[in-house]
Amino acid sequence: MSILYKSTRSEDIKVTASQAILKGLAADGGLFVPTEIPTLKESLKELSAMSYQEVAYAVMKEYFTDFTEEELKNCIDKAYDAKFDTEVIAPITKVEGTYYLELFHGATIAFKDMALSILPHLLTTAAKKNQVKNDIVILTATSGDTGKAALAGFADVPGTKIIVFYPKGGVSPIQEKQMLTQKGNNVSVVGIHGNFDQAQTGVKMIFGDKELEVKMNQAGYQFSSANSINIGRLVPQVVYYVYAYARLLASGELAEGELMNVVVPTGNFGNILAAYYAKNMGLPIGKLICASNDNKVLYDFFTTGTYDKNRQFMLTVSPSMDILVSSNLERLIYKVAGADAKANCALMQSLSAEGKYDITLAMKAQLVDFYGNYASEEETLKTIADVYDNTGYIMDTHTAVAACVAKKYAAETADKTKMLIASTASPFKFTRSVMNAIDEKYDAMGDFELVDELSKIGNLEIPNAINEIRTAPILHDIVCDAEEMKATVEKILGI
């Protein structure tokens, strides 16, 4: 069965999977969604005997129906290889009766590697399939992790260039150094004076600029996206939830068909949306628990049915979640609006014009699978300290938000369903916040002293991603205002 992709903002746009991956964002500003969410063809028992790569093919073949078996398996094999420091790709650790799905064993030690290791291969394959002659320019805004994972994925990939915008002062020192030391003849990194939402809005405006599109085409370029708005990012994320369930079934931790709740630290809403897609494919997921930090726009939305970004933007110890406009939520809104592009479009216009929208009671009733809550800064740091003191397990600040909310959910509902927490980053990525949470005495240490100390107290090997940047030279130094983003892109591309 062939699955096509349509825009969340108009009825008449329908494209193939490869075209949706190439475009990234629909011409009308909408996001591409499959005409239907396919079901898993393999049984849970069959999946439980599969490797990560085999599960990836089982899931992705249902979505990317215009890719041949050879093309898709080639993309998967190139993505999930020795770049990951463990053969199982996404190991699960059981801590205090809860399962942590560790999604940070890739090249840049964050969950974004899970999708951004394969996206360059999907994109270049899609370009060949559609006889694209232009170079693809990947334009991305990052709140910290997407940037480095995208840079690493696309570095020196023929026929591509990548430009990453990040909020200067709004990412961790390790995250910034990872980006600024990135090698590659086709990569550019730009800090903006502003926050992530301004960077993301700027990128969307550049995508929608028709004059620039003509100028780009004349110069032999066209834009695509590596943000989670690209369906080529979202579908690979569905894989690891299916894989996690299959592993827990294989190890006897779950019985076949037994429900599993999923807890996701949430910023742009892509990671939890992928779990929602997995549930809709037939995976036995119970509640989808959406964990926010002090930027709790999603918690307020699930509680009230009103999405309102008109509030103070908070800089927190979990910077990848410091987001007030969760782009991927639009895909869920479109679905609960009964796939009504006109209704969705009106809500998105309201968000753009007034910074808020209200969904109907009928739409809110369809969000029954979701539970939202948040962890304050104090609660996040206390969770890191408590889990370390009780078990010796060290988690990063984003995973701690999820762990805290998981406890709140269990206390509030008395739901005894087993819980899987998406552990989205290595503690080494946020060493200062993590170590300060364990003991404030560590604050006197330098960034790399903290790395060594974390390794010692956690009995953890220092990841290559950290060792590589200890002495690496800074290669990127461009900084601009948010309103200068378009001009900066034109300068970088020489157009």
Q: Which residues contact 445 (CB under 8 A, 6 or more apart)?
A: 435, 453
**Cα–Cα distance measured from residue 61 to residue 105, given in angstroms and rounded to the nearest whole number:** 24
**Cα–Cα distance measured from residue 400 to residue 291, given in angstroms and rounded to the nearest whole number:** 10
Q: How far is CA 277 from the centre of its chain?
A: 14
- Which amino acid would we find at residue 327? S
What are the C-alpha distances in Å from 98 to residues 9, 409, 420, 487? 39, 13, 6, 48
The closest of 274, 249, 271 to 418, measured between CA atoms, is 249
Q: Calculate ∠ Cα 109-260-61, nearest 5°.
A: 65
- SS3 of 248, please? helix
Residue 447, token pair as written in the block:
């960034």
Catalytic residue among 6, 23, 112, 429: 112
Q: DSSP readout, 71-112?
A: HHHHHHHHHSSTTSSSTTSS-EEEETTEEEEE---STTSBTH
Q: For the CA atoms of the chain, what is the radius of gyration? A: 21
Q: DSSP readout, 303-325?
A: HHSEEE--SPPPP-S-GGG--SS
Q: Calculate ∠ Cα 62-63-64, nearest 5°.
A: 105
The partner residues of 224 in beta bridges, in order of sequence, read: 138
Helices and strands (H and E) in the chain: how many = 22, 16
What are the C-alpha distances in Å from 268 to residues 130, 264, 295, 297, 328? 29, 11, 12, 11, 6
Active site residue 133: no
The closest of 117, 119, 54 to 84, measured between CA atoms, is 117
Q: Are 186 and 160 in contact (CB under 8 A)?
A: yes
The closest of 240, 193, 212, 234 to 58, measured between CA atoms, is 240
**Cα–Cα distance measured from residue 366 to residue 76, given in angstroms and rounded to the nearest whole number:** 34
> Which residues participate in catalysis according to the annotation?
112
